[in-house]
């Protein structure tokens, strides 16, 4: 395996001397940077870094990259996606423009159920092929780690098929991938009037098989108005936890659903979406291990209210931001765009936004000991930018790809 020396780096971003697992509240404004820096990568790991003036004279490497005028960032950690899916859903998007709400579309059998119908007609190989293309696309925009959920299957065989696809992607892709079982993503039409029967299937049929085959790292439930209730969620999370599956849940996207509270109660790693978050929910999240995760792409695309990210950070909470890449509510996995949305729509400073999309995203996937920042011994997942004038330029110059070179596990990819 090649060793790589990157020299003359204009700014080495989020280079931690004392790495922490996440940043909370005021700490999110802290983005340790080194100007005119070098970075040495060896055996896939960060071996050393520092100022160019202090570069050891005997430092040799198999390959040297000159980053004059360019910056080096830790690769993005996108902690919430649904990027394994059978087909795009742009027709619904037009319905949305014409005025139908997300819930109205779901009621008409559109939305997630539409994807579930198409899932049955899609082979495992097709799912993998399409997802590989999406992974390639997000990698080129700087993402190095991604969480992917099931949840377009909605019956045991189809959910398993999605999880097999994610397992295959873990094998094939240079990205670090975490998989989440989301059997409780929507209620199939035939269980509309008997929702608890579907919950029983998730608990008694799906979870044992998913866990038995080691197909999921986490478990998720869409706990919201018109989807799964707090009671359904509790039952599913308890069943999952018996198999060691920690929750990462969809909560409070459509209403004050109690999803945040139930997530905290079951020590969820993250609670995600959070458009409907009030003072009570913020209080509940304080002094917990659960990281609130905001998905700006979905709120933007669906024209929803924006989660109170600023208020959360000012209250001392950590915040992660992720793409929610999916065909219905956020058809983009571009984390550079998420950086821009974080600052423009949610009033995070560029420093806070970068922490939210890297280190805190890594925490929300349970991998921040290994990834999410530049620290000695961490996996070498970084990107080199094009020539850019300042860190602030990253969120400011929105819509174009500022990433030039991506290095994952110490290899240029
Ligand atoms: O995170 N909120 C629930 N689930 C997805 C939407 C998936 C879809 O519409 O296909 C989300 O936005
Ligand atoms: Fe989602």
Nearest atom, ligand 1, residue 324 CA: 1
In the structure, what pLDDT confidence band is assigned to residue 199 with cuts at 50, 70 and 90?
very high
pLDDT tens track for 298-324: 999 988 999 999 999 999 999 999 999
pLDDT at 112 > cutoff 80: yes
Nearest atom, ligand 1, residue 298 CA: 12
Same domain as 324, residue 232:
yes
pLDDT tens track for 117-138: 999 999 999 999 999 999 999 9
Whether residue 250 lies inside any domain: the answer is yes
Same domain as 286, residue 152:
yes
Domain region containing 393? 4-76+373-412
Mean pLDDT of the chain: 96
Whether residue 314 lies inside any domain: the answer is yes
Whether residue 394 lies inside any domain: the answer is yes
pLDDT of residue 392: 97
pLDDT of residue 96: 86
| Residue with token string 């008694």 | 204
Whether residue 32 lies inside any domain: the answer is yes
- d(CA 222, ligand 1 centre) in Å: 9
Same domain as 47, residue 170:
no
Whether residue 354 lies inside any domain: the answer is yes
- d(CA 175, ligand 1 centre) in Å: 23
pLDDT tens track for 323-379: 999 999 999 999 999 999 999 999 999 999 999 999 999 999 999 999 999 999 999
pLDDT of residue 260: 98
Q: How far apart are CA 274 and CA 342, in angstroms?
A: 14
Give the residue, out of 112, 153, 220, with the most ligand 1 atoms within 8 A of its beta carbon, to mutate for a pocket test. 112
Same domain as 126, residue 17:
no
% residues pLDDT > 90 (the chain): 92
Q: Whose CA is nearest to atom 9 of ligand 1?
A: 328
In the structure, what pLDDT confidence band is assigned to residue 101 with cuts at 50, 70 and 90?
confident
pLDDT of residue 334: 98
pLDDT at 398 > cutoff 80: yes
Q: Taking residues 1-25, what's their average pLDDT?
A: 96
Residue 399 CA, distance from chain mean position: 19
Same domain as 149, residue 68:
no
Same domain as 60, residue 182:
no
Nearest atom, ligand 1, residue 80 CA: 1
Same domain as 382, residue 356:
no
The domain spanning residue 403 has which CATH number? 2.30.40.10
| SS3 readout for the chain | CCCEEEEEEEEEECECCCCCCCCCHHHHHCCCEEEEEEEEEECCEEEEEEEHHHCCCCCCCCEEEECCCEEEEECEEECCCCCCCCCCCHHHHHHHHCCCCHHHHHHCCCHHHHHHHHHHCCCHHHHHHHHHHHHHHHHHCCEEEEEEECCCCCCHHHHHHHHHHHHHHHHHCCCEEEEEEEEECCCCHHHCCCHHHHHHHHHHHHHHHHHHCCCCCEEEEEECCCCECHHHHHHHHHHHHHCCCEEEEEECCCCCCCHHHHHHHCCCCEEEECCCCCHHHHHHHCCCCCEEEECHHHHHHHCCCCCCHHHHHHCCCCCEECCCCECCCECCCCHHHHHHHHHHCCCCCHHHHHHHHCHHHHHHCCCCCCCCCECCCCECCEEEEEECCCCCHHHHCCCCCCEEEEEECCEEC
pLDDT at 3 > cutoff 80: yes
pLDDT tens track for 41-71: 999 999 999 999 999 988 889 999 999 999 9
In the structure, what pLDDT confidence band is assigned to residue 270 with cuts at 50, 70 and 90?
very high
Let me know: does 277 contact 252? Beta carbons within 8 Å: yes
Q: Whose CA is nearest to atom 7 of ligand 1?
A: 328
- d(CA 247, ligand 2 centre) in Å: 14
pLDDT of residue 104: 83
Nearest atom, ligand 1, residue 152 CA: 10
Nearest atom, ligand 1, residue 102 CA: 9
Phi and psi at 363, nearest 5°, equal: -60, -40
Same domain as 324, residue 203:
yes
- d(CA 77, ligand 1 centre) in Å: 19
Token digits of residue 212: 């038995």
Same domain as 215, residue 150:
yes
In the structure, what pLDDT confidence band is assigned to residue 103 with cuts at 50, 70 and 90?
confident
102 or 160, which is more confident? 160
- d(CA 265, ligand 1 centre) in Å: 23
Same domain as 85, residue 60:
no
Whether residue 368 lies inside any domain: the answer is no
pLDDT of residue 58: 86
Ligand that comes closest to the CA of residue 112: 1
pLDDT of residue 401: 98
pLDDT of residue 116: 94
Q: Which of 345, 363, 381 is the last residue of a domain?
A: 363
- d(CA 328, ligand 2 centre) in Å: 10
Same domain as 86, residue 72:
no
Q: Taking residues 251-273, what's their average pLDDT?
A: 97
Question: Based on the structure, what is the number of domains in the chain?
Answer: 2
pLDDT at 102 > cutoff 80: no
The domain spanning residue 305 has which CATH number? 3.20.20.140
pLDDT of residue 222: 97
Whether residue 203 lies inside any domain: the answer is yes
91 or 261, which is more confident? 261
Q: What is the pTM of this model?
A: 0.97
Same domain as 394, residue 306:
no
pLDDT at 294 > cutoff 90: yes
Whether residue 24 lies inside any domain: the answer is yes
In the structure, what pLDDT confidence band is assigned to residue 159 with cuts at 50, 70 and 90?
very high
Residues with CB under 6 A from ligand 1: 82, 111-112, 115, 222, 250, 253, 298, 324, 326-329
């Amino acid at each position: 395996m090649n060793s790589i020396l990157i020299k003359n780096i204009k700014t080495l971003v989020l280079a931690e001397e004392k790495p922490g697992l996440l940043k909370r509240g005021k700490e999110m404004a802290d983005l340790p940077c080194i100007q005119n820096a070098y970075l040495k990568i060896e055996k896939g790991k960060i071996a050393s870094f520092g100022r160019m003036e202090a570069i050891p004279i005997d430092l040799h490497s198999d390959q040297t990259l000159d980053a004059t005028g360019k910056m080096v960032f830790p690769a993005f950690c996108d902690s919430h996606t649904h990027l394994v899916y059978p087909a795009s859903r742009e027709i619904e998007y037009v319905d949305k423009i014409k005025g139908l709400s997300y819930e109205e579309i779901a009621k008409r059998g559109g939305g997630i159920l539409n994807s579930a119908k198409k899932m049955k007609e899609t082979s495992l190989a097709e799912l993998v092929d399409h997802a590989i293309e999406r992974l390639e696309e997000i990698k080129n925009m700087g993402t190095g780690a991604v969480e992917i959920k099931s949840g377009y299957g909605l019956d045991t065989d189809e959910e398993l098929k999605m999880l097999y696809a994610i397992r295959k992607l873990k094998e094939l892709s240079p990205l670090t991938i975490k998989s989440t079982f989301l059997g409780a993503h929507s209620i199939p039409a035939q269980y509309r009037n008997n929702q608890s029967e579907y919950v029983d299937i998730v608990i008694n049929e799906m979870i044992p098989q998913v866990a038995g085959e080691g197909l999921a790292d986490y478990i998720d439930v869409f706990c919201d108005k018109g989807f799964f209730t707090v009671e359904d969620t509790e039952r599913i999370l308890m069943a999952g936890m018996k198999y060691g599956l920690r929750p990462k849940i969809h909560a409070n996207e459509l209403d004050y659903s109690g999803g945040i509270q139930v997530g905290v109660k079951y020590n969820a790693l993250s609670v995600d979406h959070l458009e409907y978050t009030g003072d009570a929910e913020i209080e509940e999240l304080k002094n917990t291990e659960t990281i609130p995760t905001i998905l700006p792409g979905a709120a933007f695309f669906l024209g929803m209210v924006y989660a109170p990210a600023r208020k959360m950070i000012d209250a001392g909470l950590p915040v992660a931001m992720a793409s929610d890449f999916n065909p219905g509510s956020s058809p983009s996995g571009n984390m550079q765009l998420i950086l821009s949305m974080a600052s423009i729509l949610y009033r995070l400073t560029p420093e806070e936004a970068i922490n939210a999309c890297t280190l805190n995203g890594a925490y929300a996937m349970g991998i921040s000991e290994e990834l999410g920042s530049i620290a000695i011994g961490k996996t070498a997942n970084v990107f080199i930018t094009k020539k850019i004038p300042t860190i602030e330029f990253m969120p400011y110059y929105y819509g174009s790809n500022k990433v030039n070179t991506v290095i994952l596990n110490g290899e240029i990819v």
